[in-house]
């Protein structure tokens, strides 16, 4: 269980540090990666969803066995972003630097799967 606790705590803290500043960087991001964001409702909506998941990871780290069912959508969250980055890179729609962020999420997704397997062994059979 220590492994799962550490993985989700590290993922959550890392995610909060990376995602929360995006609330203040819309203009900068638009200037660095033209064109500027023309649908801020999508931008801020996705930042909010991303931040909510990071908080969920921190909560999950407190009791991974209890929150084990949430590990499945957690893996989906990580792989959906990683997959999107890899596809967008193949289509030449994002830079390699931007797509590299998908590698971090892919690695975390793999660690989340490992945590899921290990917590299943610790939970024991259900009666």
pLDDT of 125: 63
Longest dimension (CA), the chain: 57
pLDDT of 31: 86
User: Which percentage of the chain shows pLDDT scores above 90?
Assistant: 81
pLDDT over 60 at 127, yes or no: no
pLDDT tens digits, residue range 60-101? Answer: 999 999 999 999 999 999 999 999 999 999 999 999 998 999
Mutual angle of helices 71-90 and 40-62, in 10-degree steps: 140
The phi, psi pair for 36, rounded to 5°, reads -60, 160
Element (H, E) at 122: helix 96-123
3-state secondary structure of 97: helix
pLDDT over 90 at 49, yes or no: yes
Q: What is the mean pLDDT of the chain?
A: 93
pLDDT band at 124 (very low <50, low <70, confident <90, very high): low
The DSSP secondary-structure symbol of 37 reads P
C-beta of residue 118 within 8 angstroms of C-beta of residue 2 = no
| Contacts made by residues 18-27, CB under 8 angstroms, sequence distance 24+ | 19/47, 19/50, 19/51, 19/54, 20/51, 22/47, 22/50, 23/47
- Determine the Cα–Cα distance for residues 36 and 26; give it in Å rounded to an integer: 8
């Amino acid at each position: 269980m220590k492994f799962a606790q550490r993985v989700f705590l590290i993922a959550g803290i890392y995610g909060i540090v990376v995602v929360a500043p995006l609330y203040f960087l819309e203009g900068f991001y638009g200037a660095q990666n033209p064109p500027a964001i023309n649908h801020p409702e999508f931008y801020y909506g996705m930042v909010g969803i991303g931040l909510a998941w990071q908080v969920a990871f921190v909560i999950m780290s407190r009791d991974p066995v209890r929150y084990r069912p949430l590990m499945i959508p957690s893996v989906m969250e990580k792989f959906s972003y990683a997959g999107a980055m890899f596809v967008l890179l193949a289509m030449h729609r994002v830079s390699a630097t931007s797509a590299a962020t998908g590698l971090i999420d892919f690695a975390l997704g793999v660690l989340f799967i490992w945590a899921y397997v290990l917590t299943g062994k610790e939970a024991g059979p259900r009666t």
